[in-house]
């Protein structure tokens, strides 16, 4: 099929396929290595075309610098629109690969907490740019932000965003409940106009995931006889780390740091974002930028572990306490055991161990920032908790809305990534390799970009 760029008026040739999903395929552009094309399996309907035209007319250096924003449309000889071109995003990973300690050791082996805070500030800056242009992400989730090894971030799946041209508003009709504000839980999203304040809730959840080692702010231990899935906890404002958590019969999971560990400034903003008062006004992206830059400037190096950096307002490193409690390594590459060879002489190894003097008292027994251990010591017990983020619903997989179909995400060039949910709500921090959180509303495919 011969395709032409709508605005540029030039013919275009699609190159190698980089990935595919439910909506279509992503291709290289033979004459333009800095951009890629998303080609739909079917021509876009009239409303979709109007939205894409509005997005391409709104494209500017600020948006193109932080997002895979459509910059031109693909049309055939009859004028039907078959997709769009956008900036190419290379060498970047989904953000959950950074905030989950287990996957961080593989995807970002050199990352320490300084990079995590830097990324958090860049996420807030990306939201600030988008909001300044009058647009809304809508479907904030763990898979529509990509992170580079240098900490730069890129918003993807932009054709699902809520976009306005000053006259018309083209809504975002999908969402992931784990990132949706309490006032949106259970509502039909098709045709619903989102606000920047709704985005601010999802932004706060993303930032919490980053700063608190992949934990969800509403995933905790619930002191009740009934079930408390995360979606219900969000709807009922049961923030598991908040000052009123006990009044809400919630407590943070074992092996986690308290909210105030990041300092009063950060703690206050999370309290505001996740409280009932937040429905009237949550901290905006610029407020987060300031708080996160102040946090970054005050980080100090741990004396016991030189791969730990922690807030300077604390008297001791909280990451040492988490690692001692959970047995998880929070930063740095995986530690691999040296092979013994083809034959293992267990008796010889035991004799060698017997000749080694004990280490003596632990030099790191300084006062730690409070980290809750499992009752009775040892490995963290599984508490009664809200459902783990990323858990497959009873019906299995994604929920479908009107006219929707589940698609897969591009994870690398020519390869579709596994659907991966955020970190589990309790136990040793890690990645849940199950279906992603269900998305409500109509679904889309061919989401994401090659990295």
Domains of the chain in sequence order: 3-87 (3.30.200.20), 93-300+383-441 (1.10.510.10)
Helices 113-132 and 285-297: angle between axes, nearest 10 degrees: 160
Alpha helices in 67-195 (DSSP H): 96-99, 101-107, 113-132
Question: Which residue is listed with tokens 């395709």?
Answer: 3
pTM: 0.77
The whole-number mean pLDDT for each consecutive block of 10 residues of the chain, a chain of 451 residues, reads 92 92 89 93 95 97 96 95 95 94 94 98 98 97 95 95 96 97 96 97 98 97 95 98 96 96 97 96 98 98 95 96 92 67 66 68 43 37 34 33 34 30 32 42 37 36
Contacts of 271 (CB under 8 A, 6+ apart): 239, 242, 243, 259
Q: SS3 string of 316-334?
A: CCHHHHHHHHHCCCCCCCC
Question: Which residue is listed with tokens 């741990």?
Answer: 302
> Would you state the pLDDT for residue 97?
96
Q: Tell me how long the chain is.
A: 451
Catalytic one of 72, 94, 139, 173? 139
C-alpha distances out from residue 149 to 60, 110, 296, Å: 25, 9, 17
> Would you state the pLDDT for residue 354?
72
> Would you state the pLDDT for residue 47?
94
Q: Degrees (nearest 5) of the Cα angle 430, 397, 326? A: 15
> Would you state the pLDDT for residue 100?
92
150 is catalytic: no
Residue-by-residue DSSP string for 41-76: SSPPPHHHHHHHHHHHHH--HHHHHHB----EEEE-
> Would you state the pLDDT for residue 347?
73
Is residue 323 within 8 A of residue 380, CB to CB? The reply is no
Query: For residue 250, is it left (φ>0), alpha (ψ between -120 and 50) or beta?
Result: beta
Is residue 325 within 8 A of residue 257, CB to CB? The reply is no
> Would you state the pLDDT for residue 19?
86
Rounded CA gap, 230 and 239, in Å?
10
> Would you state the pLDDT for residue 350?
75
> Would you state the pLDDT for residue 383?
34
> Would you state the pLDDT for residue 101?
92
Alpha helices in 255-362 (DSSP H): 264-274, 285-297, 318-326, 346-354
> Would you state the pLDDT for residue 390?
35
Is residue 74 within 8 A of residue 84, CB to CB? The reply is yes
> Would you state the pLDDT for residue 114?
98
Q: Degrees (nearest 5) of the Cα angle 263, 266, 270? A: 130
Burial string for 91-110 (b: 16+ CB within 10 Å, else e) reads: ebbbbbbbbbbbbbbebbee
Contacts of 361 (CB under 8 A, 6+ apart): none
C-alpha distances out from residue 246 to 84, 97, 224, 249, 314, Å: 50, 32, 12, 5, 24
């Amino acid at each position: 099929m011969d395709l032409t760029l709508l605005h540029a008026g030039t013919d275009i040739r699609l190159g190698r396929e980089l990935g595919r999903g439910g909506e279509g395929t992503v291709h290289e552009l033979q004459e333009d290595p800095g951009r890629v094309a998303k080609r739909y399996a079917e021509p876009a309907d009239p409303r979709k075309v109007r939205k894409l035209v509005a997005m391409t007319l709104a494209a500017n250096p600020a948006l193109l610098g932080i997002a895979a924003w459509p910059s031109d449309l693909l049309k055939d000889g009859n004028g039907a629109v078959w997709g769009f071109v956008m900036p190419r995003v290379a060498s970047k990973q989904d953000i959950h690969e950074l905030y989950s300690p287990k996957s961080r050791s593989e995807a970002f082996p050199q990352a320490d907490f300084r990079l995590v805070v830097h990324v958090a500030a860049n996420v807030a800056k990306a939201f600030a740019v988008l909001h300044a242009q009058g647009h809304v992400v809508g479907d904030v989730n763990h898979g529509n932000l990509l992170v580079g090894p240098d900490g730069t971030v890129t918003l993807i799946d932009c054709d699902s965003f809520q976009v306005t041209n000053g006259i018309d508003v083209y809504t975002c009709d999908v969402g992931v409940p784990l990132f949706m504000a309490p006032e949106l839980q259970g509502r039909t999203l098709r045709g619903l106009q989102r606000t920047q304040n709704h985005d601010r809730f999802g932004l706060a959840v993303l930032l919490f995931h980053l700063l608190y080692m992949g934990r969800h702010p509403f995933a905790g231990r619930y002191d009740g006889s009934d079930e408390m899935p995360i979606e219900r906890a969000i709807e009922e404002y049961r923030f598991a780390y908040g000052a009123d958590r006990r009044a809400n019969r919630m407590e943070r999971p074992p092996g986690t740091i308290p909210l105030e560990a990041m300092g009063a400034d950060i703690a206050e903003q999370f309290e505001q974002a996740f409280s009932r008062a937040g429905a009237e006004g949550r901290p905006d992206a610029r407020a987060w930028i300031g708080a996160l830059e102040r946090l970054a400037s005050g980080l100090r190096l741990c004396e016991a572990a030189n791969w730990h950096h922690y807030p300077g307002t604390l008297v001791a490193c909280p990451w040492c306490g988490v690692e001692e409690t959970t047995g998880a390594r929070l930063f740095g590459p995986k530690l691999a055991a040296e092979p013994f060879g083809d034959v293992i002489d267990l008796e010889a190894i035991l004799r060698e161990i017997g000749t080694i003097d004990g280490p003596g008292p632990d030099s790191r027994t300084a006062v730690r920032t409070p980290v809750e251990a499992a009752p009775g010591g040892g490995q963290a017990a599984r508490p009664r908790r809200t459902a783990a983020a990323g858990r497959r619903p009873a019906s299995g997989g994604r929920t479908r809305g009107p006219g929707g179909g589940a698609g897969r995400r591009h994870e690398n060039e020519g390869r579709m990534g596994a659907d991966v949910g955020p970190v589990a709500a309790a136990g040793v921090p890690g990645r849940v390799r199950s279906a992603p959180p269900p998305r409500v509303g109509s679904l889309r495919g061919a989401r994401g970009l090659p990295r």
